[in-house]
Amino acid sequence: MEVLGDSNNNMKAWLTQAPKLTTFRVNKLKKIEVDVLKNFLISQRNVLDTTELPDFYFLRPDCLILGPWPEVSLKKAGKEVIVDALCAAAVLRGAHVFAPGVMGLPVNSQLGERVDIYGDLEGHCKRGLKVEYTGRKLYVGTGYLKMLRADLFDNGVQPSGIAVHTILPASKLPVVNETIYSKGEVLLQNLPSIVCGWVLDAKPNECILDMCAAPGNKTTHLAEMSNDQATIIALDKTPQKAAKIKESCEIQGVTCVTAYAFDSTKCCSEESKGINSGPPFPPNSFDKVLLDAPCSGLGQRPQLVNKMTPKMIGSYKFVQRKLFAEAVKVLKVGGKLVYSTCTITEEENEGMVAWALEKFPCLKLIPAEPILGGTGLANKGLNDAQRLMVQRFGPEDNELRKVDPIYKDSIGFFIAAFSKS
């Protein structure tokens, strides 16, 4: 898949690897105790037979970084559980194996025994496999079996719950999730996604639109940044997605967000009676707009299998342009628009910025501060001054800006900011 020209092979290799760090967004509206994480890691240290702990520290008060286990290795157990590629990728990021992801399990398995977790890289493993899988597979971790074949395959209903309690992924990332804290205190969130909230920089009393908000992670971050004192409207296309946003707000103690099921490609109307009446909204309504656009998602890591075709990838720019046009309409003069994607393609990133600047003379590209990622790619529609204003998260070395290694080892991501005159 030729998405980055000559650097494509290096990018592909990077995308197949799991990031070496886990990032938590910390809820500013609640106070967390770091000792909770430390004590949890100490308990896991005993399981892994090591005396050391992973590094963990606050990058900012709302961003907690957790490193891999140092000098830890476990011998393989010799009994294989086969999981699908998505489940395998999650395990490499420090997740347990949930029942729907299990494809194969030996018939003589016992509850509580240690098993090796392998990802099916070809998608050929038939659900319910009883013997060793001979297709292309990848070792992704080890853990303790929590469900038997009868639970997973033989009861005629979709299984749920943890099937394998992961103790050590092949990436050596700690198996930690939000449940070690009280509900809503911390959230697993990729670092560039957190940076995106910092760039929008929500303030009390501002009127903010999040155009493609589900599941609500960035929405709640903006609310928490404003100390729950902004007026935030969150849109997504279906009632299910709007319900997910509302659920995220409730869990995290956010009250300043109103969520609607609405198509943001139609969110502006001259006939609107005002923001309080719900979408669509009048022109020039919002101080700030976040357009975290639907995209090809090619920045996700680790990406063990990708079935996107060039035609599918090329289709995203059309909806992104429709959304962009509406964002410009509803943004106030002097307002700030932040555009972001979790993909690596030029057309959806630098190409979209170049198109927007040509299409909308009222838009001015401004530095997407705090600038922590690399510059935009060269010769992709932006001059050097413009490349320095956007930020692209990826493995590339950059001649225009030095990037801290922590921002080169998360996911592929892109952020640009504009003001309206």
Instruction: Name the residues annotated as catalytic.
Output: 342
Query: Do residues 195 and 410 touch, judged by C-beta distance below 8 A?
Result: no
Tokens of 136: 């292309």
Query: Do residues 40 and 186 touch, judged by C-beta distance below 8 A?
Result: no
End-to-end CA distance of the chain: 39
Q: Does the annotation flag 217 for ligand binding?
A: yes
Q: Does the annotation flag 236 for ligand binding?
A: yes
Pairing of strands 56-60, 207-210: unpaired
Q: How far apart (Å, rounded) are the C-alpha atoms in residues 110 and 103?
A: 17
Query: Do residues 270 and 318 touch, judged by C-beta distance below 8 A?
Result: no
Q: Does the annotation flag 90 for ligand binding?
A: no
DSSP state of 383: -
**Sign of torsion over alpha carbons 337, 342, 348, 349:** positive
Q: Does the annotation flag 210 for ligand binding?
A: no
Q: Which residues of 143-174 are buried (b: 16+ CB within 10 A; e: fewer)?
A: bbbbbebebbbeeeeebeeebbebbbbbbbbb
Q: Does the annotation flag 378 for ligand binding?
A: no
H/E stretch holding 385 reads helix 384-389
User: 216 in the Ramachandran plot: left (φ > 0), alpha (ψ -120 to 50) or beta?
Assistant: left
- By C-alpha distance, which of 398, 408, 354 is closest to 375? 398
Q: Does the annotation flag 215 for ligand binding?
A: yes
Q: Does the annotation flag 416 for ligand binding?
A: no
Q: Does the annotation flag 212 for ligand binding?
A: yes
Q: Does the annotation flag 216 for ligand binding?
A: yes
Long-range contacts of 346-349 (CB under 8 A, 24+ apart): 346/3, 346/4, 346/377, 346/380, 346/381, 347/313, 347/314, 347/317, 348/293, 348/295, 348/296, 348/316, 348/317, 348/320, 348/414, 349/376, 349/377, 349/390, 349/392, 349/414, 349/416
Binding-site annotation: residue ranges for S-adenosyl-L-methionine: 212-218, 236, 263, 292
Binding-site annotation: residue ranges: 212-218, 236, 263, 292
